[in-house]
Structure 1
Amino acid sequence: MTSSTNQQILLKTRPVGEPKESDFALVENPIPEPGEGEVLNRTIYLSLDPYMRGRMSDRESYVAPVELASVMVGGTVSQVIKSNHPQFSTGDFVLGYDGWQAYAVSKGETLRKLDPNQAPISYALGITGMPGMTAYFALLDVGQPKAGETVVVSAASGAVGSIVGQIAKIKGCRAVGVAGSDAKCDYAVKELGFDACINRKTQELSSALKDACPNGIDIYFDNTAGAILEAVLQQINLGARIPLVGLISQYNAENPPPGPNLMPLLIKRALIKGFLVLDYQHRQTEFLNDVSQWLREGKLKYKEDIVEGLENASHAFIGLLQGKNFGKLIVKVNNDPTQ
């Protein structure tokens, strides 16, 4: 899986609706050389996440879109192979944002050193990284769960949702998931400890939610919006809270979809709040301390869906938006020397 050239995947055209593999271009260029104060990273793992669909569009958002003919953005776990930076040495493992490419030069400001003795280095793209922080802070800060409450989470077997349900259980809540297959629901209940899980493809959402949430819904952790949110709103309790974290059901929409009836938010005096993990970087240590302890104690379980080869990234990403992944989706770009 190593090469003398730098493989890169560029955004070739802006997708209309669902992305196609022709929207991307796989190119090869010389491996770059680090300048003064820079490091050269060899990508080991690339994270694939739903937010990337928004970065492919030129509509207004919280960050600038990826420029056409530019390397697709993405979080990475890499090894430093050349260093002209005083804080990094050759051989260091680092978490960064080098994008869809096999090698990248970095100035080091956004790199975080990883200790492979503490956890598998790929975990930094999931449970001890951005997805884990999203689950932790959106649930605890926005949702503010209290023992005995009912927490519903969509995309329950995914990188964020699977952690949300487990933290909800740690906090003494009833955890109810919504997922896209019986296998994913079985995993949420039997492996992760959810109290119930609803198959959104085979069950009628309103009646299934009523059965799974006999005392109503206090917190809805929303990764998807759309039909699940509409069904949840009919069963929220007084003072319910809704961390709005993702809109995966809408990312491929060519036109904004009709919204759900928001009247229950008014009647139940509920809180719905948008959440961006970027706002919580200054509290990373707090998150890492808690999640690392829960991992050591066996209170958190974690599943990865690893795809081999950068050339398969675009196909895997398209599958992610269709719900085909099972666990945190990662591309293994180069060999992992820690394994």
Structure 2
Amino acid sequence: MKQIVLKRPGGLEHLALVDAADPGVPGTGEIRVRLHANSLNFHDYAVVAGFIPTNDGRIPMADGAGVVEAVGAGVEEFRVGDAVVSTFFPQWLDGPARIDNFSTTPGDGIDGYAREAVVRPATWFTRAPRDWSHAEAATLTTAAVTAWRALVVEGGLKAGDTVLTLGTGGVSIFALQFARLMGARVIATSSSDAKLERLTALGAEHVINYKLMPEWGRRVRELTAGRGVDHVIEVGGPGTLPQSIEAVRIGGHISLIGVLTGRGGEIPTAALMAKQARLQGIIVGSRTHQREMIAAIDAGALRPVIDSSFALEDIADAFRHEASGQHFGKILLEF
């Protein structure tokens, strides 16, 4: 069996394709999954690049999709041949958030899915959307569940709401797609006019080039007749949060999902108080959130936006492409 290991943390040059022992047959409550695809996320890149510490020999990648090859005793949810996709927090099955770290996250605190086969508890996976390829399903675990939880679970998104998305990362694009699926309006930002054209094609009603308009929060207010947006998908952190606070309506919801501009900085707390807005940290979601999201996908007409695909052994090149910032949509590994 082939798998990728991070021989030692701290750089893409330490990623290696190796032969490994077959995982064997599933025990009670377990399934054996033949994996066919991973998708890349910033969190995965942070692990392999050494920004997040992990162990020598770690198998990376949180997002894994494939097909059930065998089912252990007591498993009733899955059958051989079912297409499945992994979950980000295997121990968080339902209920409110109860995890504040990545110690149980595949590809970080435990071994991930950059390999051909695994035997894992059945509850570590959900069914994939109907008629989706394994590559498409692999886009869901981190980015899509994060966007779903931010907008639908925590934000209470409804038809007629207005959503502001920042940039063109996986979470922001899925947020745009979920918002449009549910009848909401979207205002989207990017520093690339070419990417703004693609966001418009996906259904964004208004787009803003934040490099040309640094005070984009004010522009969002203008586009909403002074009211502001109901929801902000905030992926930048301290460098963008002041503008997000400017853009949100009184009593609105800001989902703090990323810190791409850094971990610390000045935040206009008085402005946040005046807006009486809810600023909520979001780290992906539970297995139930993923199952509910997939049910919504099956009921609608949504397909993921895929930028490019690499072979498993070309994982370092895939991460270099991600680091370049030139991609639009998800980057995949297929094997």
Counterpart for residue 137 of structure 2: 124
Q: Please, which of 311, 314, 317 is the counterpart of residue 315 of structure 1? A: 317
**Alpha-carbon contact 1:10-1:27 (below 8 Å) kept:** no
Counterpart for residue 272 of structure 1: 279
Deviation at 1:258, TM superposition (A): 1.8
Counterpart for residue 196 of structure 1: 206
Aligned runs of 1:1-339 on 2, under 5 Å? 6-10=2-6, 12-14=8-10, 20-22=11-13, 24-35=14-25, 37=27, 41-55=33-47, 66-80=54-68, 83=70, 85-86=72-73, 87=75, 92-96=82-86, 99=112, 101-112=114-125, 114=127, 118-127=131-140, 129-155=141-167, 157-190=168-201, 192-206=202-216, 208-215=219-226, 216-250=228-262, 256-278=263-285, 280-295=286-301, 300-332=302-334, 334=335
Q: Sort the Cα spacing of 1:273 and 1:304 in 2 relative to 1 into closer, same or farther, 3 A.
A: same
Gaps of 5+ in 1: 15-19, 60-64, 251-255, 335-339
Counterpart for residue 102 of structure 2: none
Q: Which amino acid aligns with 1:69?
A: G
d(CA) in 2 for partners of 1:27 and 1:53?
17
d(CA) in 2 for partners of 1:116 and 1:291?
7
Q: Sort the Cα spacing of 1:39 and 1:281 in 2 relative to 1 into closer, same or farther, 3 A.
A: closer
How many residues align structurally? 304
Deviation at 1:259, TM superposition (A): 3.3
SS of match in other structure, 2:170: coil
d(CA) in 2 for partners of 1:113 and 1:240?
32
**Alpha-carbon contact 1:178-1:200 (below 8 Å) kept:** yes
Q: Which amino acid aligns with 1:26?
A: A
**Alpha-carbon contact 1:66-1:72 (below 8 Å) kept:** no
**Alpha-carbon contact 1:76-1:95 (below 8 Å) kept:** yes
Deviation at 1:53, TM superposition (A): 4.3
d(CA) in 2 for partners of 1:76 and 1:113?
11
Gaps of 5+ in 2: 87-105
Counterpart for residue 96 of structure 2: none
Q: Sort the Cα spacing of 1:284 and 1:113 in 2 relative to 1 into closer, same or farther, 3 A.
A: closer
d(CA) in 1 for partners of 2:84 and 2:292?
20
d(CA) in 2 for partners of 1:101 and 1:169?
32
Deviation at 1:169, TM superposition (A): 3.5
Deviation at 1:310, TM superposition (A): 1.5
Cα distance per residue 1:140-159 (max 9 Å; x no partner): 2322345544321113x333
SS of match in other structure, 2:154: helix
RMSD value, Cα: 3.1
**Alpha-carbon contact 1:158-1:326 (below 8 Å) kept:** yes
TM-score (norm 2): 0.77
Q: Sort the Cα spacing of 1:27 and 1:121 in 2 relative to 1 into closer, same or farther, 3 A.
A: closer
TM-score (norm 1): 0.76
Q: Which amino acid aligns with 1:305?
A: D
